[in-house]
Amino acid sequence: MSTQWSTVDGPDGAFDAFLALPRGGRGPALLLLQEIFGVNAHIRAVAEQYAADGYVVLAPDLFWRQGRRLAFGYDEADWGRAAQCMQRADVAQAQADIGAAAAALRATPGAEGRLAALGFCWGGRMAYLALANGHAEHAVAYYGGGIQHCLERADDIRAPLLLHFGARDAHIAPAAVRAIAERFEAREEVEIHLYPDAEHGFNCNHRSSYHQRSAAEAHGHTLLFLSENQ
């Protein structure tokens, strides 16, 4: 596996993206979309994890307009700074950047197959919208905060979508998960998994909310979903 920072030419200027290549340098294209904490150590580790699984992974720095390569931890001060970045981020601009990053990933030597978007938390909502906007051919969202407020885009989802939620998530209410499930109930291409012992951020082993079994199960479901749709 090899990793490096690369540059994406976006509609409003160039920005950075973290690229992880599998051994051999070839594999299905996977666009990795950050949490509110930026392309931090955890997101870079996720990129490396999927590169080890055989994917060509690109994680764009979506907060670049507020500062180059902003990356936060999980203490109270960093939570506050990350939340401010999310509040200042313009979703339309972020989606335009995601479209540019998707084009750059497709043009990356060794990137093959149908491009997938994989996002966590805020990035989960961005992955959902990326699928609705046609930037990806299939998508996976882990605890995608705010998807319940974007259900007017559900009819624009015409490709496979996998959603992971934690039943103990204090940031995404059970009613929100039910609303999403009900909206997509008749859609065979949409798959939803609810992990009974998982909190928000259960996939992140840098946080106290990490839940190993749920993370392992979700990773298995994700790999199967990606392989079936690549």
Catalytic annotation, residues: 121, 169, 200
Kindly provide the b/e burial profile for residues 103-115, where b requires at least 16 CB atoms within 10 angstroms of the residue's own CB. ebbeebeebebeb
172: left (phi over 0), alpha (psi -120 to 50) or beta: beta
Long-range contact set of residues 101-106: C-beta below 8 Å, sequence gap at least 24: 101/8, 101/10, 101/17, 101/31, 101/58, 101/60, 102/31, 102/130, 102/135, 102/136, 104/6, 104/8, 104/9, 104/17, 104/58, 105/29, 105/31, 105/56, 105/58, 106/29
Q: What single-letter DSSP state applies at residue 172?
A: S
Helices (H), the chain: 41-52, 76-88, 91-106, 122-132, 174-183, 212-229
